[in-house]
Amino acid sequence: MDEVIAEVLPEGKESVIRNLQQQGKVAMVGAAAMSLSSFCVVSNALRLNLFHMHNAGHDRAKKEKAVRTGEIRLRIEGMMCEHCEATVKKALEKVEGVISATASYREGTAVVQTDGSASSDALGQAVEAADYKVLE
């Protein structure tokens, strides 16, 4: 770019461009560049209006790690009501590696779903810390 010609009013642009063309120079007109830029902005806005941000249909599926799960059954003494069940359940679910737990005072048992890392000893300690006794 050798020369910048600015502050040309719209009615004078044509004569300036013809003059440059006669000299063999290529003229880039700011209005054309701005028009192209505006066209791109509008096109992009229309494209984005068709884009559904919260549609996960085109997302790649996450690769899930294979998790080794297990079930541990405990016999528990001292549960007498639903409150006792809830206390045991809450204590068991605090143990690392526990996915879920259910307790039944009627059966005197708890069933624990684990990711494979929770041990029976850790579960037993959690139940006994809640003032219930785990039977062998």
pLDDT tens digits, 60-112: 666 555 455 789 999 999 999 999 999 999 999 999 999 999 999 999 999 99
* Range scoring the smallest mean pLDDT among 18-32, 71-85, 116-130: 18-32
pTM over 0.85: no
Q: Is 17 or 33 the better-scoring residue by pLDDT?
A: 17
Indicate the CATH number for domain 70-135: 3.30.70.100
Under 8 Å between Cβ of 122 and 128? no
Whole-number CA gyration radius for the chain: 37
Angstrom distance (rounded) from CA 80 to CA 108: 9
In degrees rounded to 5, what are phi and psi of residue 114? -125, 165
- If you count DSSP H runs as helices and E runs as strands, how many of each does the chain have, helices first? 4, 4
